[in-house]
Amino acid sequence: MTKRIPAVCVQPIDKDGVKDWICAKSAEFGFSDCGFLSVHYPLFVKQTKALKAWLDQGLNGTLDFMHENHDKRANPALLVDGAKTIITVRMDYLHDLPKPCSVMDNTRPNHAIIARYARGRDYHKTVRQQLKKLAKAIENELPQWQHLSIGADKPFVFRPFSDSAPIFERPIADAAGLGWTGKHTLLINRQAGSFF
């Protein structure tokens, strides 16, 4: 006699479910928040115009590279062939409050306080490494999302950025809902402040 195994019905995931899955997976890799933005979002053209006006005033000092790659800044799809969506993440760097310290005067010229964001491992490497892990996890999950035509027409391609490409990272994070831009020009998040 053959034993019958009951079939299990699984509700297919929808596009919002894919975003939820990616956000949950990003948390597993140490990211505190995750958002999404189309590569065709209007902020890119607006930010590029503002950058050019800023450059025309000569406010870039010695940052000559800011004159380059305006086409890619205005159209991030040029950075990754076939790109449709930018996944932007937040990684907090102030996990434990450091001991308070100060340099009281100039009588100790060889003593200084290292900025909190510069303590520990270089965030560029940490963030990029974790972004690669997230992208690999997404790539592995793509067969489960075939019914949504996600990645069905082309091979999956990703490119992690952490201050390493001509892209408007802070405005992207702002537009994707990870926080808002403060008067100090940094992104602020209600829970994390600017320590990310």
Comparing CA positions, the residue from 67, 89, 118, 115 lying closest to residue 19 is 89
Percent of the chain's residues with pLDDT above 70: 89
Q: Which are the catalytic amino acids?
A: 163
Average pLDDT of the residues in 183-191: 91
Q: How many CB atoms within 10 Å of residue 165?
A: 15
Give dist(CA 180, CA 196) in Å, integer: 13
Mean predicted lDDT score pLDDT of the chain: 86
Give the HSE-up count for residue 24: Cα atoms under 13 Å, Cβ half-sphere: 6
Q: What is the pLDDT of residues 86-131, one digit of tens each?
A: 999 999 886 676 677 777 767 777 777 777 777 778 888 999 999 9
Q: Give yes or no for a contact between 101 and 109, defined as CB atoms under 8 angstroms apart.
A: no
Average pLDDT of the residues in 163-191: 92
pLDDT-derived band of residue 148, with 50, 70 and 90 as boundaries? confident
DSSP calls for 117-140: GGSSS-HHHHHHHHHHHHHHHHHH
Give the per-residue pLDDT at 8. 44
